[in-house]
Amino acid sequence: MEDIEVDEIIGVKKYHDMTAEEATEAIAKDMGTKVLGNGAFGRVIQSSNPEVVYKIFEKDDAYLRFVRFVERYPSKNFPKIHKVKNMTSFFKRYGVQADKFYVIATEKLYKIDGKPFDAVFLSNFLGVPTLDHPTHYMPSGRENAVMVPAREFMQYHPELKELWQAGLKIRGLHRESPDFNWDLHSGNIMKRADGTIVITDPLSSSDAFDYKDDVYRAHATDEPMIKGPHYRKKEVPSTSRQPTTRNDDVKNLIRQAKAKVAELKDRIDNGEELSGTEKNMYNALKLFIVRQEPQVGRVSSPAPKAPQVPKTIVAAKDLYDMNRSIKGRIVELIRKNEESTLRTDELQVVNQLKAEHDNLEKKYGIVFRAYELYNKLKRIPEPNSYQAARIRQLEAFIDQKMKIAK
């Protein structure tokens, strides 16, 4: 990732008295292009290259994590990232806003027009935990939509096998990034001009929402704004700084190995036959983890090992995320019905989704409410004794209810 100072940029002084939105419009005009989008967390400008756009944002750790993941593990169903820059903020902003912002040059993508699949269906297809879980689809020749397992659906459309595998990689990233939420809804699935489906932004972070709330609050209270950048002298690195140790390198390798093992295991559990190379990799990575993990942390005053999250909590989180995803799809279809009447098969899909949502709420509703509180408490950096005890109580409660529900 490139990191540049403001004095390396030519001609930004004219933007010092503009807000981020105003500066974005002015920059696009100066480039002879236009602003393609102005959302809650960032903006998109068309570059001079018709196939490339610039995504500009100040705070979105989940998206940055995804971008770094895509750079390491490219896939035809992930966006092509051309360049990432971290730049000093040269526009007018509130004191709560960051001193730096990101510019990511990425390929231009397009909204899905529903042919042959709509984005709502694709988000549902990628959101199911296993290939045996029902998804919704109407095979050609049938009058009404029916719920069929994802595995059966792929028999009708084998071209989606690679998309499913890309989704498994995202699930591995999600497990590796417990602070981020699964956010693969229809708005985060787009396509290339040639029709290839692309997953654009599958995770979200509560920090991004908190940051945006702070900005809105500053705007509502008429907080004074800072004009132009904070010019700082470049800091000289301290000579006492310790270099990265081999221990840190091994930890990083173990984390990457675990993510890859989880991805391959998901494919095995879903009945997929691994190639000879992949089988060797799977066994080698498991052996690497077993041999190296006990050696990590053998230094003076090691950091306390984080307690392992019970499997029932992980299962509860997956069900909670899936239930939220189903609810989001129901809202999207209802909104679509308000704009233009849904077809009979689409109305039946809504009813099927409502039935699935009601079934999950009936069976796991109390678990979902407990998990919401548990998740909120777990995000507290340094919980007090009462909060820590409450976390343990909720873990035991969720564990008990999940076992009963099974």
Q: What values do phi and psi take at 44, rounded to 5?
A: -125, 125
Structure-block tokens of residue 56? 């500009």
Using a cut of 0.75, tell me whether the model's pTM lies above it: no
Reference 219, options 17, 19, 13; nearest CA is 19
Q: Using the structure block, give the residue that is written with the tokens 């109407």.
A: 138
Q: How far apart are CA 155 and CA 171, in angstroms?
A: 22
- If you average pLDDT over residues 240-265, what whole number do you get? 70
- What is the structure's pLDDT at 339? 65
Per-residue model confidence as pLDDT tens digits over 353-388: 888 888 888 888 888 888 888 888 887 877 777 778
CB 250 within 8 A of CB 295: yes
Reference 367, options 323, 328, 329, 306; nearest CA is 323
Residue 385: strand, helix, or coil: helix
Residue 8 has pLDDT above 50, yes or no: no
Per domain, the residue ranges of the chain are 2-109+218-226, 256-295, 306-406
What DSSP assignment string belongs to 14-66?
A: GGTTSBHHHHHHHHHHHHT--EEEE-SS-EEEE-SSTTEEEEEES--HHHHHH
Most confident of 1-5, 100-104, 226-230, 254-258: 100-104
Do strands 100-107 and 81-88 pair parallel, antiparallel, or not at all (unpaired)? antiparallel
- If you average pLDDT over residues 270-286, what whole number do you get? 75
Indicate the range of 14-18, 135-139, 245-249, 259-263 predicted with least confidence.
135-139
- If you average pLDDT over residues 5-29, what whole number do you get? 74
Reference 83, options 112, 49, 110, 111; nearest CA is 49
Q: How far apart are CA 357 and CA 163, in angstroms?
A: 25
- What is the structure's pLDDT at 39? 67
- What is the structure's pLDDT at 31? 86
- Please tell us whether the domain made up of 2-109+218-226 is placed in CATH 3.30.200.20: yes
